[in-house]
């Protein structure tokens, strides 16, 4: 096994788990250093106090087990073990070292503070309630006279050492809380910036799509206008061609007929009048168009239907 993998923080799947793993690593390493120091003091103090030695050794083993859980990537389980072991160790120590006047009472503050950081708001509330219940239970036991005889005499040096350790742990936890809060705020800011960038990109995409849609709509309208124009022109050419041809023939005949042939002239003149009337009718039909309708003219070609509206009128 690589020693570096043992003394470093394991990589987690998510950024949030990695952040919690770093906090656990610092808490566990700090606890190992402080507990080992306290254990060494208990081994060499005179007279030798078995209680302090066993309590320190038990706590050190629990901390090392938590470290092993951390390297197994059991983040939630490690957080629970650290919080519960802190609560139990604090309660037992307070019960056996003088009750509510024991210096270790300050450990309850560390318990719910650590639980809040590791387990979130819900975990912090639960361990705060458990700490208050434990504190109230110790008070009831001491008030009823059932508190065990203190195994430790609280001289000035011992109280100073214990409080110094508590202050060091409190400073570490508060530092981690501030660091964690800063990281969370930084994460929120990055997510907000990413969201703003995504919204900006999406807005540009929608604007481009809207421009394309408008261009397609304009092209479609233009194509429709072209089609209607061609159908209208086709209808006009179709309907005007016959009377114009008849008028042209009539005029040409008039120019070539003898003056004496009055009957032929009258016949051509009547043809001319009829053609002119047909043109007037066609113009009138164009003026009466109210709806767009077409009719087949040739294969694949439609022309404007000028007869339907005039029939309805």
Tens digits of residue pLDDT in 194-206: 888 888 888 888 8
- The residue among 261 and 210 whose pLDDT is bigger is 210
Span 127-177, pLDDT tens digits: 989 988 998 898 898 888 888 777 666 666 766 777 777 777 777 777 777
Identify the band that residue 119 occupies on the pLDDT scale cut at 50, 70 and 90. confident
Backbone angles phi, psi at 102, to 5 degrees: -70, 145
Distance CA 252, CA 195 (A): 82
pLDDT at 51: 72
C-alpha span between 273 and 243 (Å, rounded): 10
The answer, as to whether pTM is greater than 0.85, is no
Supply φ then ψ for residue 291, to 5 degrees. -125, 150
**Domain spans, the chain:** 3-184, 215-312
CB-based contact 8:28 (threshold 8 Å)? no
Residue 231 has a pLDDT of 64
Let me know: does 62 contact 81? Beta carbons within 8 Å: yes
Which of 88, 83, 159 is CA-nearest to residue 119?
A: 83
**Among 44-48, 73-77, 245-249, which range has the highest average pLDDT?**
73-77
Report the C-alpha gap between 80 and 93 in whole angstroms: 20
Report pLDDT digits (tens) over 282-304. Answer: 767 766 666 666 777 666 677 66
- Whether 2 shows a pLDDT value over 60: the answer reads no
The pLDDT value recorded for residue 272 is 72
Question: In DSSP terms, which residues pair with 296 in a beta bridge?
Answer: 302
**Structure tokens that stand for 5 in this block:** 């993998």
Query: Which of 89, 25, 84 shows the shortest CA–CA distance to 51?
Result: 89
Residue-level pLDDT at 1: 47
């Amino acid at each position: 096994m690589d020693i570096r993998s043992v003394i470093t923080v394991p990589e987690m799947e998510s950024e949030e788990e990695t952040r919690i793993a770093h906090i656990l690593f610092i808490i566990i390493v700090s606890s190992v250093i402080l507990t080992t120091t306290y254990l060494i003091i208990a081994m060499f103090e005179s007279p030798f106090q078995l209680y302090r030695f066993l309590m320190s050794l038990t706590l050190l083993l629990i901390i090392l087990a938590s470290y092993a859980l951390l390297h197994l990537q059991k983040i939630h389980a490690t957080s629970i073990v650290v919080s519960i072991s802190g609560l139990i160790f604090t309660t037992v120590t307070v019960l056996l070292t003088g009750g509510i006047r024991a210096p270790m009472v300050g450990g309850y503050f560390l318990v719910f503070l650590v639980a809040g950081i590791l387990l979130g708001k819900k975990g912090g509330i639960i361990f705060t309630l458990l700490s208050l219940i434990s504190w109230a239970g110790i008070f009831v036991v001491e008030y009823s006279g059932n508190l065990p005889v203190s195994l430790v005499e609280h001289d000035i040096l011992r109280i100073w050492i214990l409080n110094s350790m508590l202050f060091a742990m409190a400073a570490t936890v508060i530092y981690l809380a501030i660091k964690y809060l800063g990281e969370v705020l930084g994460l929120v800011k990055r997510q907000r910036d990413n969201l703003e960038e995504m919204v900006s990109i999406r807005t540009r995409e929608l604007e481009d799509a809207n421009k394309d849609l408008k261009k397609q709509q304009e092209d479609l309208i233009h194509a429709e206008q072209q089609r209607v124009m061609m159908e209208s022109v086709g209808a006009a050419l179709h309907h005007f061609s016959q009377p114009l041809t008849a008028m042209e023939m009539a005029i040409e005949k008039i120019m070539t007929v003898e003056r004496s042939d009055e009957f032929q002239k009258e016949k051509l003149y009547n043809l001319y009048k009829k053609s002119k009337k047909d043109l007037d009718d066609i113009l009138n039909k164009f003026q009466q168009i109210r709806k767009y309708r077409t009719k087949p003219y040739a294969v694949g070609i439609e022309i404007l239907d000028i007869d339907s509206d005039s029939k309805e009128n």
